[in-house]
Structure 1
Amino acid sequence: MTTLDHSTTAIHSATRPALVTRAKNAVSTFYRSWKNRREFYHLGNMSDAELADIGLTRADLHVAVRSPFDFDPTGQLNALAQARAEAGEDAARRVC
C-alpha cells in the first residue's frame, strides 16, 4: 500500500513540471501572437508603394487580418511576398 501511495505522489510531482512548461508555452505563444499582430497592424499605415517595395499588396493585408488570433499573419505575408518575388524572377528569366 505504501508503494502505491509513493508512486501516486511521484506521478503527481512528475506532471507538475509538464504543466508549468505548458503554461509557459501558452503564455509565450500568446505574447508572440500579440506582438506579431501589433507589428502586422503597422503595415496598414504604409502606403501602397511601400507595401509593393516589400512584395505585398493592400489585399494581402485584408486576407491576413481575417486569420485567427493565434495564427501568425506575418508568416502568411512572408510566404506571399516570397511567392510573388519568385514569380517575378521566373517571368524575368523567360523574357531574357
Structure 2
Amino acid sequence: MTALDHATQTMHAAIRPAAVTRVVNAVSAFFRTWKNRREFYRLGDMSDSELADIGLTRADLHVAVGLPFGIDPTVRLGAIVRARSESAEDMARRIC
C-alpha cells in the first residue's frame, strides 16, 4: 500500500462519518420542525386571552403560518414574543 492509497482511504473514512452526521442532523431537524408545526396549529384553538398570556396575538399566528414548510414557525413566534417583551421593557424604563 502506497502513501497515496493510505491517504485516500483515510480521507474517505473521515468523510463518511461527517456525511452521516449531516444526514442525521437534517432528518432530525425535519422531524423537529414537523412536530413543532403540528403543535403550532394547536395554538389556533386557543382563545385570544390565552394567546395574550403567552405573549402572542392572533395576528402573530397568521404571520407564522405563512412561512415555508421547512421553517419552524415556533422559532418565528419566539422571536416575536422576545421583541415584544424587549420593547415593553424599554418603554417601562423610559417611564421610570
What TM-score bracket applies, with the shorter chain setting the length? 0.7 to 0.9
TM-score, normalization: structure 1? 0.82
Identity of aligned residues (%): 68
CA distance in 1, matches of 2:50, 2:81: 13
- Residue 32 of structure 1: aligned partner: 32
Q: Name the residue aligned to 1:81.
A: 81
| 1:13-92 matches, cutoff 5 A | 13-91=13-91
Runs of at least 5 residues in structure 1 that lack an aligned partner in the other structure: none
Q: In the TM superposition, what is the alpha-carbon distance from 1:91 to its structure 2 partner?
A: 4.4
Give per-residue Cα distances to partners, 1:59-88, cap 9 Å, x unaligned: 110111111222221121122123323434
Q: CA RMSD in A?
A: 2.0
Match of 2:6 in 1: 6
How many residue pairs match? The answer is 96
Residue type matched to 1:31 in 2?
A: F
TM-score, length of structure 2 as denominator length: 0.82
Change (3 A) 1:7 1:89: closer
